[in-house]
Structure 1
């Protein structure tokens, strides 16, 4: 047994790599397009109590057995303590980049990292909160006030109706509807830069987000956290882990939120439970069962409109209808994975994942502003969407030498089945209800839902195989080459017209990279790759849309001038065909050919043992190249040309307590406010956040975060210039964390 670089090795097995999951078909009869599977709060509490009771019972049983054994033991055994050098994750490549652990200087790619410490100190509760800490990734429209995660990566965004595609523990993402990711069981977030599609298939265009979840541990750890804000946002979190016996460990994450919001009539609730089990089958093999169950419900909020290109309305004003009730989203995920080490050089990860998501509810939304500039015209619609995904993946990793040349080989086979059911109804064409922008009166002229605008079932089948080799020619040069061959089949049945459409593709997506390291602290790199992704939905001719095709390349340099200090500079260039965006009429617009190029700069510097500084800047020029609906050079929605952020963390001793201060300044430049660039823009903004924390006792930590310190009016994102999301005003959040 040995300890090296923060990884516990037993007989050559890297225990940190044990992160995989299988398939559990069937979800208790909970599949319903009408969201009949609500998580009742009472049931939720009872379930939590039962699970915690079982865990406590097992711990008590194990403790009693240990006491009996201790009494019968004649000899007092000495205690062996294992320690490991803690490695700064900012400067190590997530295994997801190449499937092997390396310093970032050793690979022809880079990443932005949000650590567990960042998540805690900056009070990050959603993926959207983490985006302000990294470069090249921008928060997109929040779809009704934040009902799921959505972002753009280097200028290109994901499907606004299905939410963010992401990776989980280095495995390919599972598509489909899901609630915003809760941080209770997230250890860290990596934004992997460069073409990743050859390894991870669809959605990995100029990079992709990888979430590293917390795993079951054999050492007992428990944490209870409660927080409350001046905007009446309340949150409670429980995270508990420990051994059930010498071979089986558990982890359970629970979270509940009740948020009132600064917006009139707008509130939401969030439930989350994540039970996990880890089973050591042998010294070489571990089985993990991961599950997640979540529900979010709240008022669907499109924000406020621009009037004559200006944002002058009270940002608290709600212009929907409270009588529409809540939008509800829920999802379930079950993953069973096996990690097996054949020897020191070869190992395999195999996982089967099942996920199911539903979204349903009704909303009244602005369609246009009347000529008087005081009244909004509104329409009404209801949604009943459901997705179901089954995914199998098996990754084989191995190391071998050919003479003096080292190879790191990866083979990956993946198969998936994905279905999307969409039912959408709207008020009659031309019908409109009006509301005064400055003095809204609710409940007047509620529009009936008289027509069905969407009623489809879509099926996607995927089979993929990829092969990759990173070739280390010597200590200075290494080359990475890889490619993925996919078989993609897509079919849509339109229940309104009775028509069906189908298509199939067999694309090949390559990637290649070169890394040159002239010194131990400096490296230069370049990479190139292609991506292929199916577009969902039918066009105006009831035909399937053409798939997205992307080509990307980048060149950059990385310099580690101190042990915990890092400097990076990257130029990127992406070209995409058939990027879709959806308007308010429920039909997609094919933007034709678009491009994005720019520069990313990043500095991470440990100035002293107490003070750490992070700074980054991104220039992104994302625009239309060829389109039937937009002029050449038109801007892509919500993509600022300039973004920057600066954060600092100062740790010190205060009256005998370990304490710290944090500060964060975030800048977003001006950007297009409409899904088709019509000249309207969201104004640029600069927001300052500060915070403080103190460890009052070894088991008790208190924290205060103040967001938007100077109470600036700003606007986070928009889908159209009539649906603009205002940012939160000055807010203070107090958090108490107890470990036991």
Structure 2
């Protein structure tokens, strides 16, 4: 559980809309004794049955990997889905809580909890922004983003390997797509209250229902306050996520979703190692400065999509996404521990960052046959524009002004130095793209996936402090090809190859923009799914090489050049499912050999930072479904989700989890 928090109390209240007495007669509900036709204010009991997608760890289909609804068994890549049920069982509140339950995923430096940062198959992307995170198919973490809250998340799809053929700039190890809960036309409401260790308090609501015959809403909100294992560290966050669905006709749907998140917390970069030992200081020791106050992050996302079913075989989808946010505040951070192993020199910083990111998407897809060969075509265009303004004030310690603290006996409240300007930049990025994909049914048991995307991107980085500017105008093509053999209804084998790219920010000593990183990846594997689709496993092997990684310029060590190369290869096993009536199980094992193969300063063969060679996890949950399924007014059950089992329209109920 996050921060060792013990789930003290969780209360979920579900209210279902009443309908006519005729509908009530056919509903699976029981009325109080002696009441032939109970009024709507009377609490009725219902029978909660098992078997919904919500109660499973195993998901059989996903639209993230291909932008079409495709069985996972037919995909020529490893796709691991973290379901809402797994998030509920983990009592997850952050994306970070679920990372250990997907193979090959490792946490990276998150700058004291400022944002999410992790690697997949050894690759973590930008050191500040992390690798690519999608929000319902739109790139959502350009610029900066506070740690993602999962209050409004229905599932999280981990797409292993390159996804550039559909989503453009990304890391070759994998991409993550966060799929949010959708509005429902049946009324349902849930309240979640949590109390945990380290003064953890959280409340969350989930409400959905109809606003008319053609409009439905959903509202997710959460408020959280918590301390931590470190002294003088306390954080707060507020999260609101409204969503609306309009049925514009029999074949047209308009969806709007938004997220508003505010996080307030001091910078906490942890403790320092003394004589090479991290346990030399108590974990509660705070080495910053309480008088700095908090760093504040405000972030908001808006997404509007229009979906139209042209015919039974063809569909059209368009969408626009906008994100904006700010980060500002002071922090005191460790610089160097002196020779006495007690005096820590510190630096003081002030950050003032802001960003705006807008993306447009339009796609058309359809199915047809040519000479007995089935095709599912998808083609589309995408354009985006991102601005990022960064102003950083920083003062480094010196012999005359060390701004020091004794790590063994810290005394706070000393005079704070005023940091001078260090960074003042304005970055502008624009890009356009065209993608094409064909899922081909070659025969009853063979599936071929072919796709390619063409990106053209331009960036400008203006250094307002130095009066310089770096520009780049590049293009990239990202193909992928995969083949799947459906050996039996339960077993499939696959192989795939693909390319990816990611632009490098900044410039070299001559003011020239860096060439983008490029990568090639190959993957092969075996998938198993039980006949009832409640359990399955994926075994994958992969080999990835990435070039044009930034490394130190050997001529001018104050600058970098795009000349490094890294390689990652390994084996991954993921398994999950529901077994018998009572057990839900998920687990994974991974071997990842991620190392430097060419660099000017790092030794060839040096391992990539914070990437474990071997890793794994196992979670088993036992639930007494017989007790939960018994007719009663209060029954143990998972919290509500967009795919909760349909409840009788004449029933109202309460559920306790």
Q: Specify the TM-score bucket, using the shorter chain as the normaliser.
A: 0.7 to 0.9
TM-score (norm 2): 0.86
Q: Could you tell me how far 1:175 is from its partner in structure 2?
A: 2.2
Q: 1:93·1:110 contact (CA, 8 Å) conserved in 2?
A: no
* Deviation (angstroms), 1:557: 0.8
* Matching residue of 2:264: 297
* Structure 1 pair 220–164 and aligned structure 2 pair: CA distance change class (3 A): farther
Deviation at 1:543, TM superposition (A): 3.6
User: Would the aligned equivalents of 1:163 and 1:176 in 2 still touch at CA under 8 Å?
Assistant: no
SS in 1 for 2:411: coil
> What pairs up with 1:41-440 in 2 under 5 angstroms?
86=52, 90-144=58-112, 146-173=113-140, 175-312=142-279, 313-428=281-396, 430=398, 431-440=401-410
Note closer, same or farther for the CA distance 1:581–1:120 as it changes in structure 2 (3 Å cut): farther
535-544 vs 326-335, which moves further: 535-544
TM-superposition CA deviations, 1:231-260 (whole Å, max 9, x none):
111101011110000100111111100111
Cα distance, 1:427–1:321 mapped onto 2, change above 3 Å: same
Distance 2:275 2:83 in 1: 43
Residue 44 of structure 2: aligned partner: none
What's the C-alpha RMSD, in Å, of the aligned pairs?
Answer: 2.9
CA distance in 2, matches of 1:95, 1:542: 42
**Structure 1 residue runs without a partner (length 5+):** 1-55, 660-694, 703-736
Maintained 8 Å contact 1:163/1:177: no
Summarize deviations over 1:200-228 as a string: whole Å, max 9, x none: 00125232111110011110010111101
Per-residue CA deviation, residues 372-400 of structure 1 (Å, 9 max, x unaligned), is: 11221211111111111010001211111
Give the counterpart of 1:596 among 565, 568, 583.
Answer: 568
Counterpart contact for 2:74–2:486, Cα < 8 Å: yes
Question: Which of these residues, 452, 464, 483, is aligned with residue 495 of structure 1?
Answer: 464
Aligned to 1:506, what secondary structure does the other structure show? strand
SS in structure 2 at match of 1:697: coil
Name the CA distance, whole Å, in 2 between partners of 1:404 and 1:79: 49
1:266-322 deviation per Cα after TM superposition (whole angstroms, max 9, x unaligned): 110001111111100001001011111111011100001122322121111010111
Residue 447 of structure 1 is matched in structure 2 by: 417
Q: Post-superposition shift, 1:447?
A: 2.5
The answer to whether residue 485 in structure 2 is matched with residue 512 in structure 1 is: no
Residues 87-96 or 643-652, more deviating = 87-96
d(CA) in 2 for partners of 1:420, 1:273: 24
1: CA distance between counterparts of 2:511 and 2:226? 41
Partners of 1:93 and 1:111 within 8 A in 2: no
- Of 590, 612, 625 in structure 2, the residue corresponding to residue 640 of structure 1 is 612
CA contact (8 A) 2:85 2:638 kept: no
After superposition, give the CA deviation of every residue in 1:654-713 in whole Å (9 maximum; x if it has no partner).
8x5569xxxxxxxxxxxxxxxxxxxxxxxxxxxxxxxxxxx98149889xxxxxxxxxxx
2:168 and 2:255 map into 1 onto residues whose CA distance is: 24
For residue 438 of structure 2, what is the aligned residue in structure 1?
469
Q: Is the 8 A contact 1:294 1:332 kept in 2?
A: yes
User: 2:65 is paired with a residue of what secondary structure?
Assistant: helix
Q: Which moved more, 1:85-94 or 1:613-622?
A: 85-94
> Aligned to 2:520, what secondary structure does the other structure show?
strand
2:11 maps to none
SS state at 1:96 partner? coil
The 1-side partners of 2:490 and 2:402 are apart by 64
Give the conservation status (yes or no) of the 8 Å contact 1:410–1:468. yes
Are the counterparts in 1 of residues 551 and 564 from structure 2 also a CA contact under 8 Å? no
**Which of 465, 478, 483 is equivalent to 2:452?**
483
Q: Deviations over 1:336-392 (max 9, x none)?
A: 111111112111221011110111111111111111112212111111111110100
Distance in 1, matches of 2:192 and 2:561, equals 45
Match of 2:634 in 1: 697
Q: What stretches of structure 2 of length at least 5 have no aligned partner?
A: 1-14, 29-48, 640-653
Tell me, yes or no, if the aligned pair for 1:548 and 1:579 is still in contact at 8 Å. yes
- Whether the 8 Å contact between 2:324 and 2:357 is mirrored in structure 1 is yes
2:98 partner SS? helix
Q: Which residue of 2 aligns with 1:523?
A: 492
Aligned residues of 2:138 and 2:321 also touching (Cα < 8 A): no
Q: Which has the higher contact order (CA 8 A, sep 6+)?
A: 2
The alpha carbon displacement at 1:551 in A equals 1.2
2:429 pairs with one of 453, 460, 483: 460
Aligned length: 598
What's the counterpart of residue 523 of structure 2?
554
Q: Report the Cα distance in structure 1 between the residues aligned to 2:22 and 2:227, rounded to whole angstroms.
A: 57
Q: 1:587 to 1:282 in 2, by over 3 A?
A: farther
CA contact (8 A) 1:525 1:557 kept: yes
For 2:151, what is the secondary structure of its paired residue?
Answer: helix
Partner of 2:12 in structure 1? none
Does the CA contact (< 8 Å) of 2:132 and 2:139 recur in 1? no
Which residue does the alignment assign to 1:579? 549
Distance 1:188 1:118 in 2: 9
Deviation of 1:81 after TM superposition, in Å, equals 7.8
CA contact (8 A) 1:108 1:527 kept: yes
- TM-fit CA distance, 1:572: 1.0
Q: Is the 8 A contact 1:143 1:160 kept in 2?
A: no
Inter-partner Cα distance in structure 2 for 1:429 and 1:581? 26
Structure 2 Cα separation of the partners of residues 426 and 586 of structure 1: 18
Q: Is the 8 A contact 2:450 2:480 kept in 1?
A: yes
1:548, CA displacement in angstroms? 1.3
3-state SS of paired residue (2:240)? strand
Q: Distance in 1 between matches of 2:127 and 2:190?
A: 35
Change (3 A) 1:428 1:657: closer
Moved more, 158-167 or 176-185: 158-167
Q: Is the 8 A contact 2:537 2:575 kept in 1?
A: yes
| CA gap 1:700/1:189 in 2 versus in 1, 3 angstroms | closer
In 1, Cα distance between equivalents of 2:638 and 2:68? 36
Question: How many Å separate the matches in 2 of 1:108 and 1:247?
Answer: 39
How far off its partner does 1:114 sit?
Answer: 1.1
Alpha-carbon spacing, 1:572–1:252, altered in 2? closer, same or farther (3 Å):
same
SS of 1:124's partner is coil
